[in-house]
Structure 1
Amino acid sequence: MANSLILSYLPRGSVVHKLTGTTKLIVFLLFSVATMVTYDTRVLVVFLVMSLAIFKISRVHYRDVKLILWMAFVFLLLNNLFVYLFKPEYGVEIYQSRTLLVQLIGPYTITAQQLFYHLNMTLKVVVVIPLALVFILCTDPSEFAASLASIGVSYRIGYAVALALRYIPDVQRDYHNINQAQQARGVDISGKDKLMDRLKGSANILLPLILGSLNRIEVISNAMELRGFGKNKRRTWYAKRPFATRDRVVLILGAVIAIGSLIFTFWDGSRYYNPFI
Structure 2
Amino acid sequence: MASNPKILGYQPGQSFIHEMSGVSKLIFFILVSVSVMATYDTRLILAVALASMVLFHLSGIKWRQITFVLAFIGIFLVINLVTIYLFSPEYGVGIYESRTLLAQGWGRFTVTAEQLFYLFNVFIKYFCTVPLAILFLMTTHPSQFASSLNQIGLSYKVAYAVSLTLRYVPDLQEEYSMIKKSQEARGLELSQKAKLSQRIKGNLQIILPLIFSSLNRIETISTAMELRRFGQHPKRTWYTQQALSKIDYLAIGLSLLVLIVTLSLFALNEGRFYNPF
* Alignment TM class, shorter chain as reference: over 0.9
Gaps of 5+ in 1: none
- Mapped contact 2:35–2:258 kept (Cα < 8 A): no
- Residue 215 (structure 2) pairs with residue 210 (structure 1): no
In the alignment, which residue of structure 1 is the partner of 2:221? 220
- Mapped contact 1:102–1:110 kept (Cα < 8 A): yes
In the alignment, which residue of structure 1 is the partner of 2:4? 2
In the alignment, which residue of structure 2 is the partner of 1:235? 236
- Mapped contact 2:16–2:59 kept (Cα < 8 A): yes
CA distance in 2, matches of 1:191, 1:252: 48
Deviation string 1:192-236 (CA, Å, 9 cap, x unpaired) is 223332222112211221122112111111111111112222221
What is the 5 A alignment of 1:237-256? Answer: 237-256=238-257
- SS state at 1:43 partner: helix
- Mapped contact 1:23–1:251 kept (Cα < 8 A): yes
What is the 5 A alignment of 1:116-131? Answer: 116-131=117-132
1:48 Cα deviation after fit: 1.1
1:260 Cα deviation after fit: 2.2
CA distance in 2, matches of 1:26, 1:64: 25
- Residue 37 (structure 2) pairs with residue 36 (structure 1): yes
Gaps of 5+ in 2: none
Deviation string 1:56-104 (CA, Å, 9 cap, x unpaired) is 2111121122221121111110110111111111100000011111222
CA distance in 1, matches of 2:201, 2:56: 39
CA distance in 1, matches of 2:101, 2:247: 51
- Mapped contact 1:100–1:111 kept (Cα < 8 A): yes
In the alignment, which residue of structure 2 is the partner of 1:79? 80
Query: AA paired with 1:5?
Result: I
What is the 5 A alignment of 1:7-156? Answer: 8-156=9-157
CA distance in 2, matches of 1:93, 1:248: 41
- SS state at 1:237 partner: coil
- Mapped contact 1:20–1:242 kept (Cα < 8 A): yes
More off after superposition, 259-268 vs 199-208 = 259-268
CA distance in 2, matches of 1:38, 1:266: 11
- Mapped contact 2:269–2:275 kept (Cα < 8 A): no
- Mapped contact 1:43–1:265 kept (Cα < 8 A): no
Deviation string 1:237-273 (CA, Å, 9 cap, x unpaired) is 1111111222122212321232123313431322211
Identity of aligned residues (%): 45
CA distance in 1, matches of 2:207, 2:253: 47
CA distance in 1, matches of 2:196, 2:64: 28
Query: AA paired with 1:93?
Result: G
- SS state at 2:111 partner: strand
- SS state at 2:5 partner: helix
Moved over 4 A (4+): none
Shift in CA distance, 65/266, structure 1 to aligned 2, threshold 3 Å: farther
CA distance in 2, matches of 1:23, 1:195: 44
Number of equivalences: 275
- SS state at 1:65 partner: helix
Q: TM-score under structure 1 normalisation?
A: 0.95
Query: AA paired with 2:29?
Result: F
What is the 5 A alignment of 1:186-197? Answer: 186-197=187-198
1:165 Cα deviation after fit: 0.9
Shift in CA distance, 193/56, structure 1 to aligned 2, threshold 3 Å: closer
- SS state at 1:267 partner: helix
Deviation string 1:22-53 (CA, Å, 9 cap, x unpaired) is 00000111111110111111111111111111
Question: For the aligned residues, what is the CA RMSD?
Answer: 1.4
